[in-house]
Structure 1
């Protein structure tokens, strides 16, 4: 894994600590950090480490480096500063899935990967401070194995009723106005919000492309309220003296609820369905 520079790491730590300490704080002055060459370099190195195929413009990392990385990044920086940056439509590819079906990926250009990467570097620590402990996908220091361990632990503890909820075509159905509204609860920097809106609208009226650098963060943000609602539901039952043992785990759009008896599963599924329809 490519680590950001010390200065950028410290900035991200400061943002995280501030977000953790002040739950209602809305951050401003973030765009200046997105436009820094230091941030752009870190985003480029992360994109290069993940490699991947070229976007719709056909440009590869080899061609970028042949022309000069610093010049490439400086051009992006100037476009961001003077407001002329425009994201390009993603290249669509179909990836085979294990069940014989395919998953549609949207492959951004390298330029767009860098811009999305800078946004992720600056926005991620804000929302990491808010994300629920039961969410495991696309997060620093969290893995699918940890999510599986949590489920196995519940089964060992005797929570034998398993409710598996998979949100069909989740990434494709995220509503832009709702994700922007959720983003604005913590970000009041107009330039950041405008840039995210540009990225979303470049690929249609709804959804975030699987394959986008920023998409996983936005996808987790979109479902964070559902994670919190599950916690509130369990807390309410505890306060009302109706405590039941429940373990909730989410990995991207796949949610697992473990309960200790058949009659107790219906309220949880009903609540998940109700919250998802509001999303």
Structure 2
């Protein structure tokens, strides 16, 4: 659910700043084989820079400081024109600051190194990402799913299930690349970017500078990297996909792409769910000596499905050799293997996948993997301890909300495991025991006021309450068939976007006027939220409900207390001149006259009175 909302919001943002047509054009040109020699003009355009701020400001990482100690807050208060000029200056002579190295624990107990660039460098990377992504998307292989728009782990799992069960490819080549992100060859990567058609030498020099940026280690020492791309950088996932895209297409050329290059190729067609229809050319291929192999990849985690053990073993050695010779990437022999899914499990993206006999066929059975079960159990136990240590009712409510959010998150991700109900029942048993013994006053009866929780858990007899706060049941989850990515969905075509969301309902020209006429004395955050409000309010005054005139409307602060974030979206309203008079005029006779003129109902009058009370003005009589 959260992923879907994120997809929609990114498309909305591109529409706010009138960049969608540009991205569509880049995608179409890349698809037709065009090369791009002058991308810096688009990357450094004010609208692209403002869009980058919009896309970054909501990320959790935007509040994490790099080596310069600054966060998004230090940029959000800058006047818009000053902010744009600051970022444009970076592009003229780019010298990235040192990347901050931090280490976070992995599920297996080891530490994962992350590189956190400074906030200005993150804005620069976001500007580049927005322009490079549509070009690369046109060149990327269909069945790589990690860190790509409108794709998810669920899509990857769905395709993997289909290859094993429907296509009857029962042997899996598990390949583990040693420290992929730390071993990316810079020279090879820059050549791959050039091969994709990105031939703006200024841009390539900037990317090279990013890759060579010094890394500030936890002990304060600066290290100059000779290879690798830091995990944590905004551009790193795209660069990783560029590196492994060559592998995707090499595997595809061994089988799938052969159908398109045969002497008498058939037209490739698809079922509504995105699955490919088999034609006579596939029958001819199966009679050849070619090895049938299909790849499904999520970032650097990939599986290659084969029909026979012999094919799988030959494929393993061929891929190992290819990765080293072409990409200078080493494979871990200890962690890599060929798995017969009829006899053993294969782990992928937190799931254990296996085939089991059912009547005369083999069907997919999947479980939550052991590492994930251990991690979920620990996180839930920690949340129970947090609830137990709560001192006030407000703190209890906050910690229960955190517990519920974690439960919903893991249920949403792992519900595509066929045995998820059994797995989560096993996880829930000790957690429920801890809740019972650690927390006093747990009730079996109560009211679920939240509409979403009521719809999702209202029928469950496992619901519990702590005071008035509902505690959602960890074991109340059922298997959901994973969704395959529809081939129609594409963020860079109008038809593909129609599958995701409707275009903005408000007048686009009015939106563009607001975007192109920022209030120069106000911050970048204020002007960005001003544009958002116009869309959020459907182009209407928040008080009168009438259509706004963008040239005279006012972006009104509910409170001027800077400590409460007076430029935040929640603190702003777009008002017409009449709406402004209703909430801020001291002339009560004119205010009452306007209320009658616009026939404001009791709900709106209550809203007006809250705003007037905040401003210390006399209130209207309630209806």
If the length of structure 1 is used for normalisation, what is the TM-score?
0.92
For this pair of structures, how many residues does the alignment match?
Answer: 275
Match of 1:34 in 2: 43
Match of 1:208 in 2: 229
Q: Structure 1: any 5+ residue segments left out of the alignment?
A: none
1:66 and 1:21 map into 2 onto residues whose CA distance is 42
The 10-residue stretch of structure 1 (85-94 or 111-120) with the greater mean CA deviation from structure 2: 85-94
Write 1 or 2 for the structure with the bigger share of helix. Answer: 1
> Which secondary structure state, in structure 2, belongs to the residue aligned with residue 111 of structure 1?
helix
Mapping for residues 170-189 of structure 1, pairs under 5 Å: 170-185=180-195, 186-189=197-200
Deviation at 1:73, TM superposition (A): 3.0
Q: Greater relative contact order: 1 or 2 (C-alpha under 8 angstroms, separation 6 or more)?
A: 1
Match of 1:132 in 2: 141
Match of 1:103 in 2: 112
1:198 and 1:250 map into 2 onto residues whose CA distance is 28
2:65 and 2:80 map into 1 onto residues whose CA distance is 16
Mapping for residues 76-155 of structure 1, pairs under 5 Å: 76-80=87-91, 83-155=92-164
Q: 1:54 aligns with which of 65, 70, 87?
A: 65
Match of 2:241 in 1: 220
Match of 2:206 in 1: 195
Deviation at 1:21, TM superposition (A): 1.3
Residue-by-residue CA offset, 1:81-117 (whole Å, 9 max, x unaligned): xx33311111111111111111111011110011001
Work out which of the two has the higher radius of gyration on C-alpha atoms and give 1 or 2.
Answer: 2
> Which secondary structure state, in structure 2, belongs to the residue aligned with residue 265 of structure 1?
helix
Q: Structure 2: any 5+ residue segments left out of the alignment?
A: 1-8, 215-224, 259-283, 328-623
Match of 2:251 in 1: 230
Residue-by-residue CA offset, 1:208-232 (whole Å, 9 max, x unaligned): 1101111111111111111111011
2:124 and 2:93 map into 1 onto residues whose CA distance is 13
Moved runs in structure 1, 4+ residues, more than 4 A? none
Match of 1:246 in 2: 293
Match of 2:302 in 1: 255
Residue-by-residue CA offset, 1:152-197 (whole Å, 9 max, x unaligned): 1122223221221121210110011111111112122111111111
Deviation at 1:137, TM superposition (A): 0.6
1:151 and 1:142 map into 2 onto residues whose CA distance is 14
Deviation at 1:240, TM superposition (A): 7.3
2:37 and 2:192 map into 1 onto residues whose CA distance is 15
1:79 and 1:249 map into 2 onto residues whose CA distance is 38
The 10-residue stretch of structure 1 (236-245 or 36-45) with the greater mean CA deviation from structure 2: 236-245
2:286 and 2:198 map into 1 onto residues whose CA distance is 33
The 10-residue stretch of structure 1 (38-47 or 109-118) with the greater mean CA deviation from structure 2: 38-47
